[in-house]
Structure 1
């Protein structure tokens, strides 16, 4: 076996480690509409040469560009570069990346900053030679920090959720990665799932069949299917007999109505390349027609796989490592005409494709959204991440990483999303061994939702100084229980999310320097949520914490402020709390001392016993009238100031080397 699906992806990873450069480039443009997130603004360049000629070259125009550059005639150079770059063919993207880089700088100076950012991103996707790597890394680090690093590490996020597990309103349903079970999965690799529009037929690839080749057993890739009954149980997977052969079949894509199946077959005599795309149709007797090769207009002499059909089935997306693309593997598309013939495959351009690998396209069954996997796009969390891009007026928006709730340190590809946008089905392995993959389902988080296009922005600043706070912002979908990957507040105290419109949400802001802030809001169009709060001081008192004379019982009006303290301790498990009770000097000092201790202890009991904070983190002490703020009480106001409960929130200092050495002596 020379070339199968898993070995191909595995080869990608090896090539990435061994190869400093690659081949090829691509095309794309974009516009802004209300249905597209604000931060996926794109440029206005329709690269005319993509899919028309390999490379654009005009000696006269290029000489003029060089002349204008030397003469520092920036405005004329800007217009000349825009015209020249807009004519790029695929090869220009890796041969002439420096011209895009120069255009990006001029656009930043003379044009639209958002357009400049798009051009910088394009350089980062396609740079190959002639550009300072230090400059590239500087811009890449800057862009990456604005996106990927803004997400809170997921392990830490779930740790926070666990710490505050008793607060129901702040416990979003943790996304559960569910193995599809032994009826669907096998001891061998299972991957490449695809669903029909009703979400009750699952087709996928499996290596469970072993072929005896005398000296060894060979794993044979075949197509399997499973049906879901009305109770939600998937049936035992069965092979699709009429489509499977002695060769390797896999990466199936079933049409919405379940009557068309496109898949890849490898190493067969009826293939043009390593792997070709084939199509079969379901007949009235529930059997499939003999698979037909999609032909030379679609397939190449190389690897063609990972098919995905549009809603109407007349556009087919797929991945290929054929010559003439932008990178190691690109995403292509072909359309079917009225006579049922497929047009010559076209490259999807320099926004979707990169210098590396862009694979596993998936077109959402309801919305105009393309999902795909890439290890060459920006804002990458692992090796291969899943991205989404919107189709607007025939152009693709800047791909968005769907976030760390799905994308981890490893590779995510071979996936499908149900038509209700509730579940993501994809293959994962508990190890790096691609031959040990199982198919899992996972609740589709907000970052992957096709309708998450409405922008919510906001900020948190100090009400006294106007300075920004640092911390974590979380949003909970109250209507649907969808998780939204939390983010750090930006250095200026701001935040931004893309959410589903006309939905109720809970906004949660938490940090070391302020009490948690919660706000319920209904999203009805783009929204701005700017918040101010007072900074947290190490020692404080609350106006609501005032006991009746001679009493130590807590009152209902105290709970709101006590819960602020509780929430802070949940959010910040490294902090501890000391509660100090104080009285005025009126009455018997011994009784005052006892009363102050009881008050402090009752508050501690509320925090520890009722709220569930670990007892070692909270201590209580009463001091009676021995530590007055006003030394000589004269008025009732003086006595009121001295009657108080103080809350001191602190971190224990880490042990010094000297103290550690001392403790070791014992």
Structure 2
């Protein structure tokens, strides 16, 4: 009997010793992986730290440090994914910074009171080195504003684009041609030209185009070479006549990027050339531009030094000698201590739309509108309100000529992917512009459309108001302010110039709104 007990004790000891040795071994492996993960985390290499923390979480899902740091990695790499919520909830008692992240996530879920509670819990824990109380107050203000704006919904509707334009991947920066029959946009969908992934596991950017036939948008197609390459290629602006496409293209080493422009010649896009205006800089990011109708002013965003904070909106103007001025910051009325991006100057030349993380803001980026007066002063930016804006990022807005339809990008929850393209219908647009349409043709010697340039000049001030170009079918669209008189000059290679006047101070006839102009060939 005593021998049996001795044997059992020896066996038990051996099992316990083996188990203890295995535990020590596992702890060594765990700690070694944790050390490697923490090194990447400390260097803000969240995409490199993420796989380590995923493995560590699979081993010990209750470890507060692992839960918190895995949550931060997912929050950054996967752009505030809600998968972070349980991780921050698990770690909030040991890492009070979790409350700060939870506030942003509950805001994203529309739980504004819960978000405010989390922010307040973080403030009660005392200021942390990496997160200031001012920053927390900034996010708390967003929650208060979101509650207000959702209760005071504007007279607009928003719908998600279908017909294959939006996918589970990111689609953004919609651009419309003047006839509103072609939609250009940027996508990070599978099947990109280079089929390469960036450090955040997203495909490189390519430009796509969809055509509207019988009021239906067709499945988009990759626009192909020479616009798309194996690196990042994103559309950023389309001239008001639809003949110049501006793109943002990165260098082969992805260390920098610049704005390029491509010309449409008989339906084919030319090899993009580096844009000549003083916009591109070596050590800053300039990835959004918009060109005024008169082609003499360009608005763009940049994070170059000397701004008011983050990205600011600047402009350059064409000088009398046809060169471009140095960039000028639009000033503190437009630019806040936070990011301003994606400017869009309306065809009226005085209404500027842009997105901002500052001002009176309900989400990430909100879309704002400002108007320039006769003294070149900008009005206080007006938030377009809910539902055009949401509690997510709303950016890259463009407007139709009459201001009744807008197209923009958003990563709101009801979308199909990371970022989707939306169409907004504004039922009471604040616009007073008058749209004139027509065709430029010739009967000399036979009827055919004429590709021409239309210059609009203010009759009294003699100032240039806009330069427009007809499309390949000779059609044009002009956007003019009422109560003014204009001189119109139409020029085309091989034809005599044609001049006329448009008197917007008088009542316009149907002939004025839809005007066909016949050109005479030079003998």
Q: What TM-score does the superposition give when structure 1 sets the normalisation length?
A: 0.40
Q: Which one of 212, 223, 248 corresponds to residue 240 of structure 1? A: 223
**Superposed displacement of residue 436, structure 1:** 2.2
Match of 2:236 in 1: 252
Taking the aligned partners of 1:234 and 1:418, their CA distance within structure 2 comes to 16
**Superposed displacement of residue 419, structure 1:** 1.3
Q: Which aligned pairs between 1:178-217 and structure 2 lie closer than 5 A? A: 178-208=159-189, 209-210=191-192, 211-212=194-195
Q: Is the 8 A contact 2:340 2:355 kept in 1?
A: yes
Q: Which aligned pairs between 1:3-402 and structure 2 lie closer than 5 A? A: 151=149, 153=151, 175-208=156-189, 209-210=191-192, 211-212=194-195, 219-229=203-213, 231-241=214-224, 242-268=226-252, 274-283=256-265, 285-295=266-276, 297-300=278-281, 301-337=283-319, 341-366=323-348, 368-377=350-359, 379-392=360-373, 393-402=375-384
Q: Is the 8 A contact 2:390 2:412 kept in 1?
A: no
Change (3 A) 1:214 1:324: closer
Flag structure 2 segments of 5+ consecutive residues without an equivalent: 1-44, 46-75, 81-96, 101-132, 434-481, 483-523
**Superposed displacement of residue 338, structure 1:** 5.7
**Superposed displacement of residue 228, structure 1:** 1.9
Match of 2:348, SS?
A: coil
Taking the aligned partners of 1:248 and 1:410, their CA distance within structure 2 comes to 24
Taking the aligned partners of 1:227 and 1:340, their CA distance within structure 2 comes to 35
Q: Is the 8 A contact 2:353 2:397 kept in 1?
A: no
Q: Which one of 364, 389, 413 corresponds to residue 407 of structure 1? A: 389
CA deviation string 1:208-230 (max 9, x = no partner): 2344459998612011122223x
Q: Which aligned pairs between 1:242-641 and structure 2 lie closer than 5 A? A: 242-268=226-252, 274-283=256-265, 285-295=266-276, 297-300=278-281, 301-337=283-319, 341-366=323-348, 368-377=350-359, 379-392=360-373, 393-431=375-413, 436-446=418-428, 449-451=430-432
Change (3 A) 1:355 1:183: same
Q: Is the 8 A contact 2:157 2:388 kept in 1?
A: no
Change (3 A) 1:389 1:296: closer
Taking the aligned partners of 1:442 and 1:240, their CA distance within structure 2 comes to 25
**Superposed displacement of residue 234, structure 1:** 1.5
Taking the aligned partners of 2:219 and 2:197, their CA distance within structure 1 comes to 30
Flag structure 1 segments of 5+ consecutive residues without an equivalent: 3-9, 21-132, 159-171, 453-500, 502-666
CA deviation string 1:65-105 (max 9, x = no partner): xxxxxxxxxxxxxxxxxxxxxxxxxxxxxxxxxxxxxxxxx
Taking the aligned partners of 1:212 and 1:261, their CA distance within structure 2 comes to 23
Q: Is the 8 A contact 1:317 1:333 kept in 2?
A: yes
Taking the aligned partners of 1:383 and 1:215, their CA distance within structure 2 comes to 23
**Superposed displacement of residue 345, structure 1:** 2.0
Taking the aligned partners of 1:200 and 1:334, their CA distance within structure 2 comes to 30
| Superposition RMSD in Å | 4.1
Change (3 A) 1:376 1:266: same
Higher relative contact order (CA 8 A, sep 6+): 1
Q: Is the 8 A contact 1:329 1:356 kept in 2?
A: yes
Q: What TM-score does the superposition give when structure 2 sets the normalisation length?
A: 0.51
Alignment length, in residue pairs? 304
Taking the aligned partners of 1:214 and 1:380, their CA distance within structure 2 comes to 33
Taking the aligned partners of 1:400 and 1:213, their CA distance within structure 2 comes to 40
Taking the aligned partners of 2:158 and 2:370, their CA distance within structure 1 comes to 24
Taking the aligned partners of 1:431 and 1:405, their CA distance within structure 2 comes to 13
Q: Is the 8 A contact 1:325 1:347 kept in 2?
A: yes
Q: Could you say which structure has the larger radius of gyration?
A: 1
Match of 1:252, SS?
A: strand
Match of 1:86 in 2: none
**Superposed displacement of residue 303, structure 1:** 0.9
Q: Which runs of 4+ in 1 moved over 6 A?
A: 147-150, 214-217
Match of 1:305, SS?
A: coil
Change (3 A) 1:342 1:249: farther
CA deviation string 1:240-271 (max 9, x = no partner): 222111111114211111101112112346x9
Q: Is the 8 A contact 2:292 2:349 kept in 1?
A: no
Q: Is the 8 A contact 1:188 1:437 kept in 2?
A: yes
CA deviation string 1:26-64 (max 9, x = no partner): xxxxxxxxxxxxxxxxxxxxxxxxxxxxxxxxxxxxxxx
